[in-house]
Amino acid sequence: MQGLRKLQLITEAKKVCPDVIIVLGEDLTRFRDASKDLYNYLRAFSWNNKVERLGFDEVWMDVTDIVDYNLEILNSHDLQNSFFQISHDDPTSGFALDASHIAGHAYPATSAPTDGDADHSDFTDSSANHLSTRLLLGSHLAHHLRKQLHEHKNYTCTVGISISKLLSKLVGNIHKPNGQTTLLPPYDATPDQPHSNVASFLDNHDISAIPWIGFKLAQKLRAHFLGRAADFHDGLVYGKTKERITVGDMRALPDLGPEMLERLLGGPGLPRGIGARVYGLLHGIDDAEVRQARNVPRQISIEDSYVRLDTLAEVVAELTTLSRRLLARMQLDLTESHDGVDVDKRIETNEDEAAAVGTSSMPARWMAKPTMLRLTTRPRMPLQADGTRVRTFKRISRSAPLPSFTLDLPTHLDALTTRLVSESLLPLFRKLHPEKSGWNLSLVNVAVTEMVDCAGDERGRAGRDIKGMFGRQDGVLREFSVTEGEGSLEFENGSVLKDWEEEGGRSKQLDRDRAVDQNAVSEQSVELPLKAKIPRDEDQWHADFDEEDEDEGVGEDTFRCGQCGRTVPLFARDAHDRFHADGAD
């Protein structure tokens, strides 16, 4: 690694690495496919379908229901030989666990997490809502999922386990790229323990490390703390402050409160109640629900940026390219064949995209139809009198109903594209830029929005069995990362995209980056790392995998239940008996 960073200027990149190969444009298809595959794999483990994706490489899972169920069947008299039931209606499917110990790492760090000797006896207490035990169960579930992900998909990942999206995400940052961390209680301050683990964990974070406190909010908070405008790096590097203000700094302010923050942060375009929201975040409180998994996105957009785009011919050409890609994405992401298989699954099995899109023998139907079309541009400001240019990143947009011919699947994509450009996009463009010429665009985006679910689709598609729908596609990439909660299970990144993420102004270097052609890394060629297949080092992985690698699931020794006739592994016998005792089928 020679200091190449995400979003680096090409001139800078060439300075630090003269041999860098710049590839213009990018193709995120393989990232998108891998992301969807892993997401669907994880989704199949969920009972309540609360599985929320953030970007390509992070997932939250709310596993409260699974954990609560397993808390009930837990035998507190024989914690070492416990059984975790992973499937809601099959008491025999699951894994053995030692519930006298947490799985993986903890925050604050306890004695050696991997040697099995760490004493977590406090986890067996019978305090209020069994928080410790629930977190412990969450840690074992996370460990199981990570192991499954590795065995079946050949991905490693990082997980954080806590009670909210906020805390699971933050604590999941700790043991990258292949570890898990549970945020230990106490979560609340007590007279006995005035500093909860949540407070001590949060207080060292820079405020912009807190999810949902982005650049704008952070600058306002800093300005309030400093009593003056917060300085930041001018020019190209967007979103970098020069001031470090921590959560602890803010919390120490005597006047800090939800109302004060509402006045400080609120304003046009900002959500109401933002003051209370940020106040909560700074105190480790986050009530946001993990959202239910969706099978179609709410919007699809395609954009490209340009050095200069100022003739109508160029604009027409670019609109054509962009809208063709958009229509293809619509067909890919919003349709399924009549046998209920998504188009991308058909592509996988047909190996022929052209055959799968539009002309497949099994005709596709829409799961959801977009109803609006939006055209966005980013004009560059005209030259000032003094020859300088006002820098602006502002986008402007116009929208119109999406004509329904775009949803006609038998029609050839090129025909749809031509018609969409001439009948919808060019009119929108003229509305956006009434001048005959003189505009000069640095970006064009075409989007479809306002999806309407198609009848026959919403009938419980959320609950549809997606297990088994996903066959191959293993071993394409390496990484993902898992995060979990008591609570909320979060799967967090650690993926290739993230490897080059910049942190605190320097680039993070992970061991496996060495396997990648160092000259081939630039922000314009994010797909390159994918091509460098990282050899999987099983031993190292297990060493990293912070604990015993006993066989899980159904072992050799089983017994047949007299009551239900099911075959159950011996270690699960106690749990199974309790299953019946609890009045299950």
Partner DNA sequence: TAAGTCTAA
Partner DNA sequence: CGATTTAGACTTA
Which stretches of the chain bind DNA, using CB under 7 A? Answer: 7, 9-11, 26, 28, 54-58, 169, 208, 210-218, 235-236, 238, 267-273, 291, 294, 297-305, 307, 329, 372, 374, 380, 389, 391, 393-401, 431, 442-443, 445, 447, 493, 497-498, 523
Cis peptide before 177 (omega within 30 of 0): yes
Nearer to DNA, 431 or 542 (CB): 431
CA-CA distance, 181 to 135, in Å (whole number)?
11
Closest approach, Cβ 50 to DNA, in A, equals 13
Shortest Å, Cβ 137 to DNA = 26
Contact (Cβ atoms closer than 8 angstroms) between residue 293 and residue 49? yes
Q: Which two tokens stand for residue 340?
A: 């209920």
What lies within 8 Å, CB to CB, of 390 at 6+ separation is 381, 384
Shortest distance (Å) from residue 313 CB to DNA: 20
Shortest spacing between CB 447 and DNA, in angstroms: 7
Q: Which is nearer to DNA, 276 or 570 (CB)?
A: 276
Query: Which CB atom, from 478 or from 498, has the smaller least distance to DNA?
Result: 498
How far is CA 134 from each of CA 69, 325, 350, 402, rounded to the nearest angstrom? Answer: 10, 46, 44, 48
Q: How many CA atoms lie within 13 A of 377 on its CB side?
A: 23
Q: What is the largest CA-CA distance in the chain?
A: 90
Beta carbon nearer to DNA, 294 or 508:
294
Q: What is the closest distance, in whole angstroms, from the C-beta atom of residue 378 to DNA in the complex?
A: 8
Query: Smaller CB distance to DNA: residue 135 or 221?
Result: 221
Report the residue number, 394 or 560, with the smaller CB distance to DNA.
394
Type of residue at 431? K
CB 17, min distance to DNA, A: 16
Closer to DNA at the Cβ: 82 or 158? 158
In sequence order, the β-bridge partners of residue 181 are 105, 160
Distances from the Cα of 228 to the Cα of 152, 219, 231, 261, 330, angstroms: 54, 10, 9, 16, 48
Q: Which alpha helices (DSSP H) does 180-294 contain, by range? A: 197-203, 215-226, 247-251, 258-265, 274-282
Three-state DSSP class for residue 129: coil
Nearer to DNA, 73 or 326 (CB): 326
- Judged by beta carbon, residue 5 or residue 120, the one nearer DNA is 5
Question: Minimum distance between the CB of residue 134 and DNA, rounded to whole angstroms?
Answer: 25
**Closest distance of CB 474 from DNA, Å:** 22
Nearest CB to DNA, comparing residues 7 and 584:
7
Question: Distance between alpha carbon 365 and the CA centroid of its chain, in Å?
Answer: 28
Q: Which of 148, 525 has the CB closer to DNA? A: 525
Query: From the CB of 554, what's the least distance to DNA, in Å?
Result: 36
Tokens coding 91: 């008491």
CA distance 514 to 88: 43
The answer to whether 111 touches 119, Cβ cutoff 8 Å, is yes
Q: How far is the CB of 127 from DNA (least distance, A)?
A: 32
Please, what is the minimum distance in Å from the beta carbon of residue 345 to DNA? 18
**By C-beta, is 361 or 393 nearer to DNA?**
393
- By the 8 A CB rule, do 559 and 570 touch? yes
The answer to whether 540 and 178 are in contact (CB under 8 A) is no
* Exposure string for 38-64, b = 16+ CB within 10 A, e = fewer: bbbbbbebbbbbbbbbeebbbbbbbbb
User: In angstroms, what is the minimal distance from the CB of 235 to DNA?
Assistant: 6
Question: Which residue, among 50, 47, 49, has the nearest Cα to 88 in the 3D structure?
Answer: 47
Return d(Cα 377, Cα 576) in angstroms, integer: 61
Distance CA 318, CA 325 (A): 11
| Closer by beta carbon to DNA, 210 or else 407 | 210
Output the smallest distance, CB 355 to DNA, in A. 23
Question: Residue 176 and residue 182: Cα distance in Å, rounded?
Answer: 13
In angstroms, the CA 545 to CA 404 distance is 52
Query: In the structure encoding, which two tokens stand for residue 243, read together?
Result: 């001031």
Q: In angstroms, give the least distance from the CB of 284 to DNA.
A: 15
Contact 397, 364 (CB under 8 A): no
Q: Is the dihedral of CA 440, 442, 446, 449 positive or negative?
A: negative
Which residue, 133 or 168, has its beta carbon nearer to DNA?
A: 168
